[in-house]
Amino acid sequence: MAVRFTILGSGSSGNCAYVETDETRILIDAGFSARQIRKRLASIARAPENLTGILITHEHGDHVQGLAALCEDLRIPIYCNRPTRDAIAFQLKTPLNWRIFTTGSPFELGDIMVETFTVPHDAQEPVGFMLRTASGNIGFLTDLGHATKLVIERVRAANVLVLEANHDIKLLQECPHRPWSLKQRILSRHGHLSNEAAADTAAEVMSADLRHLYLGHLSRECNRPEIAHRVVANRLNQIGATHLNLHVASQSTPCTTLAF
């Protein structure tokens, strides 16, 4: 069976994706309510009762909002590093089925080899993922202030890549609802990627094997899907990356399932 990949939703208020192989069914992050996650899984004829595990990038609410309600009764294994576990456990104060990995060390989850690596973001020990399967590799870069050399090298082998395109710099600077301190945090090297930074990162990781690029974690107030798509598409056209399928993930609805 081909790998099935669905971004159930991605934006500054919630992030969750689903990956399925012959042996394994996992979520990457659980940033919506448990009810929403269940509803979105049902839209692709799946259910949380059948999950093998949940991978967590970091402890911020838009990545773990539904974790306790989803996992407390079902005892779904939660895979994260120890600092992330400690931060989530302090927030939730609920006993959960933790499986601790060491950042930088790969581990097997069913028939998926999970590679983890450090990303620069203002959390305890945030990580990116590369999921290696028999059918292809899926990379996750959802929250990072800049793309380090390590990050670029770790996702260069991706066939499918989820990449943050959080904000348009002008829209962020002009946003009346955000204090200057928050704008500084977002723009910092441990904040979030702008559309232009996402475009530069995409150009750096580009290869003939990268077939699908999903732009994720778009800010509802400080970005627009059409702007993010245009900025990244223009940069890809400049480098002749005409083989790539460019998608923009939505906060409100799941993306079309990709099978490969």
Helix ranges (H only) for the chain are: 34-42, 61-64, 67-71, 82-92, 149-155, 169-174, 180-187, 195-205, 225-238
Mean pLDDT of the region 40-64: 98
Task: List, in sequence order, every beta strand (DSSP E) within the chain.
Answer: 4-11, 14-20, 25-28, 53-55, 78-80, 98-100, 107-109, 112-118, 127-132, 137-141, 160-164, 212-216, 245-248, 258-259
Tokens at 258, concatenated: 């990709």
User: Is residue 58 predicted with pLDDT exceeding 90?
Assistant: yes
Mean pLDDT of the region 128-144: 97
The pLDDT, as a whole number, for residue 1 is 64
pLDDT digits (tens, 9 = 90+) for 87-126: 999 999 899 999 999 999 999 999 999 999 999 999 999 9
The residues spanned by each domain of the chain are 4-259
- Order of strands, edge to edge, in the sheet holding 14-20? 98-100, 78-80, 53-55, 25-28, 14-20, 4-11, 258-259
**Structure pTM?**
0.97
Percent of the chain's residues with pLDDT above 90: 98
pLDDT digits (tens, 9 = 90+) for 150-194: 999 999 999 999 999 999 999 999 999 999 999 999 999 999 999
Contact partners, residue 249, CB within 8 Å, separation at least 6: 7, 9, 10, 11, 162, 214, 215, 216, 217, 218, 255
Mean pLDDT of the region 50-56: 98
Percent of the chain's residues with pLDDT above 70: 100
Is 128 in contact with 139 (CB distance < 8 Å)? yes
Residue in the block written with tokens 């991706």: 158
Residue type, 112: I
Instruction: Return mean pLDDT, the chain.
Output: 97
CATH T-level assignment (fold) for domain 4-259: Metallo-beta-lactamase; Chain A (3.60.15)
pLDDT digits (tens, 9 = 90+) for 15-44: 999 999 999 999 999 999 999 999 999 999
The pLDDT, as a whole number, for residue 234 is 98
The pLDDT, as a whole number, for residue 93 is 87
Cα separation, 138 vs 155, whole angstroms: 8
Query: 86 falls in which pLDDT band (50, 70, 90)?
Result: very high
